Amino acid sequence: MSYPHSYGSITSPPAVDFSGSSNSSEFNSYADNVVTNIYTINSSIKTLDNALKVIGTKKDNQGVRNQIHVTQLSTNQIASATSRNIHKMKLIVAKGDKHKLLQVEKLEGNFKDTVGRYYKLQKEVANKQKSHLLLQEYVTSENASGEDLEQERQAQKTREMAFEQDMLLERESRIRQIESDILDVNQIMRELGSLVHVQGETIDSIENSIDHAVGNIEEGTEQLIKASRYQSRYRRKLVYLVLIGLVIAAILIGILVSEFKK
C-alpha cells in the first residue's frame, strides 16, 4: 500500500506567535513543543511507510524490524507527551483567553489527524509483520520435512516437534512485541475528549460569570435610574414646598401689614 507524499498540513515546525497575559511565555513553549512533536510524528509516518514496502521482500531483515520497533516506541512516547502538553495549554486557556483557545483547538485538530494516520499505518505494519512471520515458519517447516530421510524418520519427527514448539514460542513472543508497539490511540482520544469536556465546562462557567456580571450591571444601572427619578421627584417636591412656604409667608406678611396700618 502506498501513501501520498503529503503527510499532513504540517510539513515543518512553523513559528508559533501567541500574545496574551503573563502566561504567554509558558503557553508558547507548550505550543512549540506540540508543533515540533506533530512534525516528528509525521516523519515517523514516512519511516513506517517505507518499512511497510520492505516487509516480506528480499530487503526484509532484522535491522528493518528493529527500526520499526524503535520508531514506534519513541513515537508513542512523543504522542503521549503531546497529549499532556495540550492538557497544560488548556489549563492556561481556562483562565479566560478565547484567542488562545482557538489556537489550542487548531493544534489539537492537527494532532488528532496525525495520530489517526500514524495509528492506521501501525496496524498495517503489524498485520504484515505477523503475516510474514507465519509464512516464514511454514516454509521452513516444509523444507525440513522435504529433507527427511526414511531411516531417520522417527528421530527427525522428534527434532521437528521440538523445533516447531520453539518456533511457536518465538512467534508468540514476536507477535506480542508487535502488538505492544501499537499506540493506544483510544486512550489518547479519550483523554483529549475529557479535556474538551472540562474545557467546555470552563468556558460555560466563564460565559455564565460574564452573563451574571452583565446582569448585575444592568440591574445596577436600573437602580441608578430609579434613584435619579426619586431624587428628581424629591427636588420637585422640595421646590413646591418652598413655593408654598413663600406664598404662606407673603400672605402672613400682608395680614400683619394690614393690621399695623389700622
- Which range of 22-26, 100-104, 253-257 scores highest in mean pLDDT? It is 100-104
Q: Angle at Cα 51 formed by Cα 50 and Cα 52, nearest 5°?
A: 90
Domains of the chain are 24-183 (1.20.58.70)
Banded model confidence at residue 11, pLDDT cuts 50, 70, 90: very low
Q: Which of 80, 72, 185 is nearest to 125 (CA)?
A: 72
- Comparing 41 with 182, the larger pLDDT belongs to 41
User: 3-class DSSP state for residue 15?
Assistant: coil
Cβ-proximal residues to 20 (8 Å cutoff; 6+ apart), any chain: 27, 97, 99, 100
- Which range of 90-94, 172-176, 196-200 scores highest in mean pLDDT? It is 90-94
Lowest mean pLDDT among 22-26, 70-74, 169-173: 169-173
Question: Is 41 a residue whose pLDDT tops 70?
Answer: yes
Q: What is the pLDDT of residue 139?
A: 45
- Cβ atoms of 162 and 105 within 8 Å: the answer is no
Cβ-proximal residues to 164 (8 Å cutoff; 6+ apart), any chain: 141
Cβ-proximal residues to 36 (8 Å cutoff; 6+ apart), any chain: 13
- Cβ atoms of 122 and 182 within 8 Å: the answer is yes
Residue reference for cell 522417527 = 154
111/93 Cα distance (integer angstroms): 18
Average pLDDT score over residue span 45-74? 92
214/212 Cα distance (integer angstroms): 5
What cell does 228 get?
435619579
Q: Which of 60, 169, 79, 190 is nearest to 125 (CA)?
A: 60
> What pTM was computed for the model?
0.57
Q: Which of 34, 191, 39, 51 is nearest to 121 (CA)?
A: 51
Contacts by residues 202-208 (CB-CB < 8 Å, ≥ 24 positions apart): 202/94, 203/101, 206/96
User: In this prediction, what percent of the chain has a pLDDT beyond 70?
Assistant: 62
- Cβ atoms of 203 and 101 within 8 Å: the answer is yes
Average pLDDT over all residues of the chain: 74
pLDDT tens digits, one per residue of 193-242: 765 555 555 455 555 555 555 566 666 667 767 667 767 776 777 777 77
162/100 Cα distance (integer angstroms): 63
Q: What is the pLDDT of residue 210?
A: 56
